[in-house]
């Protein structure tokens, strides 16, 4: 498109103030209009660099250079791009320079229910609960396999995955409720040896 964006104040929110050019040509106006209508930001003209690091195209005689290679990104993620510059001197068989883009993104991790995770950690620290969970999961998976019908229309990968998630979540919730109903298993120090010692003490008192 040979789009050149300039430094006009009216376009600054979209293109910044660090373009190689002072005035926007017709193609540049189209790029700006496209960016505005789609919630985009022209990041390639927002970083301060020497002119030689803004030139994305040069003429065959090397006398004319333009910044016509642009990077557009959603306004929501525009801060993810922390730098853009043209790389000179690379032999790529083109009259355009490569454009280097530096990203820095912070990815959010969905933590889910923190209380539920703590309860599951507490449960799996108990060998009895851990074994019961494994047995119940295995039994339910066997039932699910027996119910599978290779000729069934609903027997697809998404349906199976939903069934697996349901089994895991239901088993997990049942163990949490069972664990909450038995205070003895909530005490990490309570184990089979303690239980045996208590039984022996009761017998000695009789």
pLDDT tens across the length of the chain (206 residues): 689 999 999 999 999 999 999 999 999 999 999 999 999 999 999 999 999 999 999 898 888 999 999 999 999 899 999 999 999 888 788 889 999 999 887 766 555 555 555 655 565 666 776 777 778 777 777 766 665 555 454 556 777 777 777 877 777 777 767 665 554 444 444 556 666 666 776 676 66
Q: Which domain holds residue 119?
A: 114-205
Does 95 share its domain with 144? Answer: no
Of 48, 78, 103, the residue at which a domain comes to its end is 103
Question: Any idea what DSSP says for residue 96?
Answer: B
Q: Are residues 19 and 82 in the same domain?
A: yes
Which has the closest alpha carbon to 124: 72, 175, 178? 175
pTM above 0.85, yes or no: no
**Closest-CA residue to 123 (of 164, 83, 175, 161):** 175
Statement to judge: residues 38 and 75 lie in one domain: yes
Q: Do 69 and 13 belong together in one domain?
A: yes
CB-side neighbour CA atoms (13 Å) of 101: 17
**121 and 201, same domain (yes or no):** yes
The last residue of a domain, from among 103, 124, 151: 103
Which DSSP symbol is given to 49? -
């Amino acid at each position: 498109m040979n789009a050149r964006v300039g430094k006009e104040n009216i376009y600054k929110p979209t293109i910044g103030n660090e373009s190689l050019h002072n005035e926007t040509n017709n193609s540049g106006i189209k790029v700006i209009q496209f960016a505005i209508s789609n919630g985009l930001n022209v990041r390639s003209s927002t970083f301060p660099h020497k002119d030689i690091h803004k030139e994305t195209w040069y003429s065959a005689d090397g006398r004319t250079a333009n910044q016509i290679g642009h990077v557009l990104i959603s306004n929501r993620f525009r801060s993810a791009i922390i730098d853009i510059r043209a790389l000179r001197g690379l032999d790529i068989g083109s009259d355009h320079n490569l454009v280097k883009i530096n990203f820095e993104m912070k990815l959010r991790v969905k933590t889910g229910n923190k209380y539920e995770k703590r309860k599951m950690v507490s449960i799996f620290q108990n060998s009895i609960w851990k074994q019961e969970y494994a047995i119940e999961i295995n039994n339910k998976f066997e039932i699910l396999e027996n119910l599978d019908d290779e000729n069934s229309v609903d027997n697809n990968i998404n349906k199976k995955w939903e069934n697996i998630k349901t089994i895991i979540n239901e088993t997990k919730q049942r163990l949490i409720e069972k664990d909450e109903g038995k205070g003895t298993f909530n005490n990490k120090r309570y184990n089979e040896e303690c239980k045996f010692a208590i039984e022996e003490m009761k017998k000695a008192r009789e």
